[in-house]
């Protein structure tokens, strides 16, 4: 191939949009296709349906190389077409791949015969091989999107994993040229290996998180401080500086749970042992309720009346998503008590609660509350001054699972400050 390949992304949700912007930032002409004309119109107006640090700026910088369209005919001009819709999960963390299949079929019918299609969505092992058709190349590429860090990871991946029919054969020239621009190791492997690599990555992450959560809980009981332990672990080369060792409220967001569910399903189907994976899930379920347990222990148990302040409704900072939001999960179980809520992005009316007040600011959410729970560590919450909180709250209890506040300052302000991993 002598000219630079033209790249397309089909499915303009979080994964497709961020990946397309990253492709354009590498200098490639990029088509952003979605069959939803209304969504495309919105994107053409610069109105992004996602919140992701850096995406707006990069889109603006590379706007001339990016085209948004719902016109299928434009797919025929592209050399590499990524099919990249986010795959939804249900409450049992099972994927619904109906939308992906529909879009893949739609794309198939409209690409040129020598184009390469690449599935980028989250798929179960076996998906890609089952969708091979004569005369068309459908490959699979592992995505490692992280909400809040999606652009950073899309632009500079650690490695690129490609599932293909025969890993000993070179990648199609257009795809090879495109992936080469990322200047990172490219690992071709058979379809099933690539699909399982994605699952394996997430299982390793969950293992680290589960270790952190299990031992952080022990720290809370025996006088340890996980914050002192984790850095020591990261200096161990077998564990590493980037290990997921920050305790949290279980695992959330859907993708990690989805992969655990995939392993359990496959293990049951093929008779392999998945006890450890099930244990990860049980530990996660236990830790998810940390704030609820602490609220009962500190304030709600025996309280005739108490008001609870909730800071953060988004699933995590720097996203607009409330799916799997620990905050909303908590609020479900606080019906008997008035609550005050605030989130910098999510409006208070998403909350289903019989006695909720949508506060105008973080400080306003803390006004006259008996306990304050910081459920999403938004940057602006990290800037809150503990003495301001102490002055405006009626009670003293602050539950800060993500350690957004300075614990020393909180205690100095007279707050009964609780965070994960510290007794």
Partner 1 sequence: MLIHQYATPKAPKRIVVVGAGGFVGATILRAFAAVGPPPIGLTRREVDLLAPDGSNALKARLAPDDAVVFVSAIAPAKTVAQLMANLRMAEAACAAFAYVMPAHLLYISSDAIYADDANPVTEYSPVEPSTMHGMMHAAREMMFRAEYRGPLAFLRPTLIYGADDPHSGYGPNRFRRQAAKGEPITIFGDGEERRDHVVVEDVARLAVRILYHRSAGALNAASGVATSFRDVANIVAAQFVPRAEIKSVPRPGPRPHLAHRFFDITGLHKIFPDFHFEPLAEGLARVHWQALQARSVESP
Handedness of CA 385, 391, 393, 398 (dihedral sign): positive
SS3 (DSSP) at 381? helix
384 binds partner 1 (CB under 8 A): no
Rounded Cα gap, residues 300 and 291, in angstroms: 12
Rounded Cα gap, residues 321 and 336, in angstroms: 26
Q: Which of 190, 265, 296, 382 binds partner 1 (CB under 8 A)?
A: 296
72 binds partner 1 (CB under 8 A): no
334 binds partner 1 (CB under 8 A): yes
Q: Which of 60, 63, 159, 293 binds partner 1 (CB under 8 A)?
A: 293
Residue 185 or residue 336: which is nearer to partner 1 going by CB? 336
Residue 6 or residue 340: which is nearer to partner 1 going by CB? 340
Residue 296 or residue 367: which is nearer to partner 1 going by CB? 296
Rounded Cα gap, residues 372 and 389, in angstroms: 9
Residue 54 or residue 281: which is nearer to partner 1 going by CB? 281
Size of the site for partner 1 (CB under 8 A): 15
Rounded to 5°, angle at Cα 153 from 61 and 158:
130
The continuous run of DSSP H or E covering 311 comes out as strand 308-311
User: Closest distance between partner 1 and the C-beta of residue 213, in Å?
Assistant: 14
Main-chain dihedrals φ then ψ at residue 67, nearest 5 degrees:
-120, 130
User: CA nearest 6: which of 178, 142, 181, 157?
Assistant: 178
Residue 169 or residue 301: which is nearer to partner 1 going by CB? 301
Tell me, residue by residue from 335 to 374, as one string, x for binding to partner 1 by CB under 8 A and - for no binding: xxx-------------------------------------
Residue 244 or residue 333: which is nearer to partner 1 going by CB? 333
60 binds partner 1 (CB under 8 A): no
Rounded Cα gap, residues 22 and 153, in angstroms: 9
286 binds partner 1 (CB under 8 A): yes
Instruction: Report strand pairing: 160-164 vs 137-141.
Output: antiparallel
Which residues in this chain contact partner 1 in the complex, by CB under 8 A? 282, 286, 289, 292-293, 296, 300-302, 332-337
């Amino acid at each position: 191939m002598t000219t630079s390949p033209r790249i397309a992304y089909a499915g303009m949700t979080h994964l497709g949009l961020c990946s397309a912007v990253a492709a354009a930032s590498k200098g490639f002409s990029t088509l952003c296709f979605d069959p939803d004309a209304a969504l495309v119109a919105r994107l053409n107006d610069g109105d992004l349906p996602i919140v992701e640090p850096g995406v707006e700026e990069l889109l603006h910088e590379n706007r001339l190389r990016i085209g948004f369209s719902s016109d299928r005919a434009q797919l025929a001009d592209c050399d590499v077409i990524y099919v990249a819709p986010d795959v939804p999960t249900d409450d049992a963390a099972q994927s619904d791949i109906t939308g992906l299949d529909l879009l893949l079929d739609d794309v198939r019918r409209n690409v040129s015969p020598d184009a390469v299609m690449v599935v980028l969505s989250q798929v179960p092992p076996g998906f890609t091989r089952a969708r091979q058709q004569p005369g068309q190349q459908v490959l699979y590429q592992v995505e490692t999107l992280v909400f809040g860090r999606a652009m950073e990871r899309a632009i500079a991946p650690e490695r690129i994993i490609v599932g293909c029919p025969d890993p000993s054969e070179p990648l199609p020239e257009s795809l090879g040229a495109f992936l080469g621009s990322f200047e990172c190791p490219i690992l071709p492997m058979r379809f099933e290996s690539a699909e399982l690599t994605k699952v394996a990555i997430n299982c390793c992450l969950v293992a680290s998180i589960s270790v952190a959560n299990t031992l952080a809980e022990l720290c809370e009981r025996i006088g340890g401080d996980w914050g002192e332990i984790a850095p020591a672990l990261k200096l161990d080369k077998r564990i590493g500086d980037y290990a997921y060792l920050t305790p949290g409220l279980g695992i959330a967001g859907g993708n990690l749970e989805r992969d655990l569910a995939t392993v359990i399903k496959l293990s049951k189907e093929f008779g392999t042992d998945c006890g450890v994976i099930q244990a990860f899930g049980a530990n996660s379920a236990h830790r998810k309720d940390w704030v609820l347990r602490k609220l009962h222990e500190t304030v709600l148990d025996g309280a005739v009346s108490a008001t609870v302040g909730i800071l953060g409704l988004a699933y995590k900072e720097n996203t607009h998503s409330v799916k799997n939001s620990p905050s909303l999960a908590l609020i479900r179980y606080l019906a008997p008590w008035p609550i005050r809520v605030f989130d910098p992005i999510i409006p208070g009316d998403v909350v289903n609660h019989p006695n909720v007040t949508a506060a105008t600011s973080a400080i306003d959410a803390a006004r006259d509350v008996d306990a304050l729970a910081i459920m999403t560590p938004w940057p602006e919450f990290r800037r809150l001054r503990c003495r301001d909180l102490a002055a405006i709250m009626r009670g003293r209890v602050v539950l800060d699972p993500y350690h957004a506040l300075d614990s020393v300052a909180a205690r100095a302000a007279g707050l009964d400050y609780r965070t994960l991993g510290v007794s």
